[in-house]
Amino acid sequence: MNQADSDIITTLLGNGGYRQASSEEEAGIILLNTCAVRENAVERIAHYLQHLKGVKKRYPDLLVGLSGCIPQYRRETLFDDFPLLDFLAGPDTYRALPSLIAEAASGCRRVSRLDFDTSETYVGVEPSRSATLSAFVPVMRGCNNMCAFCVVPFTRGRERSHPTEAVLNEVRALSESGCREITLLGQNVNSYRDPAAGTDFSRLLDAVSREVPGIRIRFTTSHPKDMSCSLAETMAARPNICNHIHLPVQSGSTRMLGRMNRGHTIEEYRDRIGMIRNMIPGISFSTDLIAGFCGETEDDHRKTLELMRDIRFDSAFMFYYSVRPGTPAARTMHDDVSEDVKKRRLQEIIDLQNSISSELFGEAVGTVVEVLAETESRRSSLQLMGRTETNRVVVFDRGRHSPGDLVRVKITGSSSATLRGEALPDY
Ligand code: SAM
Ligand code: SF4
């Protein structure tokens, strides 16, 4: 979502007469577009601002600004904590950036625009993407859920969906520019509703897949409580929708899901995965997991490991819980799992996921998969890197193929993160 927002910001600044600098030294303005979802994202920005203090000493006219979730969230203290900052804009006020910069350049100090605007979707602002084989297309902004640990509802505001027609125009334009894979993007795409017709995400997904039948379609993120049967039916029916779902579960314990306010039980989660696997054989699942949320016991943690063994996710984003001030958990619960225990549980989760991924990837050796080649591999120009429909990374001997080709690849080896193979000549 940050990448997609940065592309919008680049367009808005371009329209305002600014152009991208090639280095820190060349830049007259440095703008950091930020994420606040975990404490370490915030710490990284703080480190970078520390570094910019030195740069600003050398170039006193340099303007430094923050946009996105951190300013929205820490508006009261940011200017005092980081006196080098000149301007701030939130996720709904990127359009104000050219005028904020102009004000700061004219000598006004500490200028900001941080109001929420529930009508702002940036529809019509064509994101500035360099010619790309794979692109993110936001279909909604904001989130109406209130997961106890999560800051997103407080930084990005209420949910609002883009009109279906606007999404279709964007994917058509991407297809015409040579794009081969599109990921529809939202905090909870399952609660998408077309603003005029009220149609749901499965209808949007169906329409997109028909609009650009030669392009692979992915989507993220799905919330398990809203993951519908009709969405799985659409996936099963449309050949260009990839057989992969990112379905964050956060914890394997129903008790913890209740504390997190996720709105479903573990049994419901398991049933949903079972239902989808029946409808779409061979589909892969990935997930998000949080270790050490408030009140998590060893028994809750054991249930998470148990769930992972049963479901066998292809991959997972794994984090330990960090308190986000202002969230329901920060206001009403104790962060009572010690850092050592959080880190130990997280390591157990990571180790287990690595071994599950290794097993699953090992089982793929000897099979033939279809890969969309994305780039040359980092190690050798004789190899390409791409992904299977199920979102597995494959590095393969390229033969006569180039990025952008759909290639049949025979899998010859694997690790916990990558498959290796060779392009079959007859494709
Ligand atoms: N909307 C998506 C959903 O509901 O699954 C997730 C969006 S959130 C930006 C991405 C992931 O960050 C979450 O799924 C969760 O695992 C993790 N996360 C969010 N808040 C966190 C926190 N306070 N501490 C640790 N991880 C957190
Ligand atoms: Fe955060 Fe929950 Fe919304 Fe996801 S669904 S963005 S975790 S509040």
Other Cβ atoms within 10 Å of 338 Cβ, number: 10
Q: What is the pLDDT of residue 427?
A: 46
CB 427 within 8 A of CB 407: yes
pTM: 0.94
Distance between alpha carbon 191 and the CA centroid of its chain, in Å?
Answer: 17
Locate tokens 């994420």: which residue?
35
Spatial separation of the C-alpha atoms in residues 6 and 129, rounded to whole Å: 10
pLDDT score of 417 more than 90: no
Token pair listed for 374 = 């994305």
134-362 is a CATH 3.30.230.10 domain: no
What are the backbone dihedrals phi and psi of residue 301, each rounded to the nearest 5 degrees, phi first? Answer: -60, -45
C-alpha dist (Å) from residue 199 to 61, 64, 195, 226, 410: 50, 42, 8, 14, 41
Please report the atom of ligand 1 found closest to the CA of residue 250. 16
Query: Nearest ligand to the C-alpha of residue 324?
Result: 1
Identify whether the C-beta of residue 240 lies closer than 8 Å to the C-beta of residue 181.
Answer: no
**132 pLDDT tier (thresholds 50, 70, 90):** confident
Structure confidence by residue, pLDDT tens digits, 257-289: 999 999 999 999 999 999 999 999 999 999 999
Residue 364 has pLDDT above 50, yes or no: yes
- Tokens for 125, please give them: 């602002």
Instruction: Express each pLDDT in 304-335 by its tens digit.
Output: 999 999 999 999 999 999 999 999 999 999 99
Helix (H, G, I), strand (E, B) or coil at 78: helix
Residue pLDDT, tens place only, 189-216: 999 999 999 999 999 999 999 999 999 9
Judge if the beta carbon of residue 269 lies within 6 A of ligand 1.
no
Ligand 2 atom nearest residue 144's Cα: 3
Strand partners, 141: 160
What percent of the chain shows pLDDT beyond 90?
90
Question: What is the domain partition of the chain in residue ranges?
Answer: 2-105, 134-362, 368-423
The token duo for 327 is 């969230």
| Topology at the third CATH level for domain 368-423 | OB fold (Dihydrolipoamide Acetyltransferase, E2P) (2.40.50)
Band of pLDDT at residue 42, cut at 50, 70 and 90: confident
121: preceding bond cis by omega (within 30 degrees): no
Beta pairing class for 111-113 and 87-89: parallel
**Which neighbouring-strand residues pair with 89?**
67, 113
Q: Quick one: DSSP state of residue 354?
A: H
Inter-residue contact 252 to 305 (CB < 8 Å): yes
Residue with CA at minimum distance from ligand 1 atom 16: 288
Among protein residues, the one with the nearest Cα to ligand 2's atom 4 is 187
From atom 7 of ligand 1, which residue's Cα is the shortest distance away?
Answer: 187
Give the atom of ligand 2 at the shortest distance from the alpha carbon of 146. 8
Instruction: State mean pLDDT over 106-122.
Output: 92
* For the CA of 224, the nearest ligand: 1
- Spatial strand order of the sheet with 134-138 comes to 134-138, 181-185, 216-220
Give the position, in ligand 1's atom list, of the atom nearest the Cα of 262.
4
| Predicted local distance difference test score (pLDDT) of residue 131 | 65
CA of 250 to the centre of ligand 1 (A): 8
* Architecture of the domain spanning 2-105: 3-Layer(aba) Sandwich (3.40)
| Ligand 1 contact via 266 beta carbon (within 6 Å) | no
Mean pLDDT of 103-129: 91
Residues with CB under 6 Å of ligand 2 are 143, 145, 147, 150, 152-153, 187-188, 223
Task: Using the Cα atoms of residue 205, residue 133, residue 411 and residue 246 in order, give the sign of their dihedral.
Answer: negative
Q: Could you identify the atom of ligand 2 that is nearest to the CA of residue 187?
A: 6
pLDDT bin (cut points 50, 70, 90) of residue 425 is confident
**For the chain, first and last CA: distance in Å?**
35
Query: What's the whole-number mean pLDDT along residues 289-294?
Result: 98
Nearest to 88 by CA among 69, 113, 63, 61: 113
